[in-house]
Amino acid sequence: MHEPQKTLLIVDDEDAILNLAALVLEAEGFRVLKARHSDEALLMMDSHRDVINLLLTDVRMDPYLNGCELAKCMRLLRPDIQVLYISGYTHNVMVQQEVEDQRAYFLPKPFSPRDLVEKVHAVMNGAPV
Quick: pLDDT tens for 32-55: 999 999 999 999 999 998 999 999
At residue 47, what is the residue type?
Answer: S
Does residue 129 form part of some domain? no
What confidence tens digit (pLDDT) does each residue in 61-96 have? 888 898 888 999 999 989 999 999 998 876 666 666
CATH code of the domain containing 91:
3.40.50.2300
Q: Confidence class of residue 97 from pLDDT cuts 50, 70 and 90?
A: low
Does residue 1 form part of some domain? no
Closest CA to 12 of 94, 116, 129, 103: 116
* pLDDT of amino acid 63: 86
Return d(Cα 56, Cα 10) in angstroms, integer: 5
* pLDDT of amino acid 123: 93
Does residue 24 form part of some domain? yes
Q: How many domains does the chain have?
A: 1
**Whether residue 101 has pLDDT greater than 70:** no
Closest CA to 57 of 46, 47, 72: 72
- Give the ranges where 78-124 is alpha helix by DSSP (H): 93-100, 113-124
Average pLDDT, the chain: 88
Q: Dihedral of CA 129/27/65/108: which sign? A: positive
Does residue 21 form part of some domain? yes
Instruction: State which residues form the domain around 41.
Output: 7-123
Percentage with pLDDT > 70 across the chain: 85
Sequence-separated (6 or more) residues with CB below 8 Å from residue 129: 99, 102, 104, 105, 106
Strand ranges inside 48-98, DSSP E: 54-58, 82-87
Burial 28-60 (b: 16+ CB within 10 A, else e): eebbbbbbbbbebbbeebeeeeeebbbbbbbbe
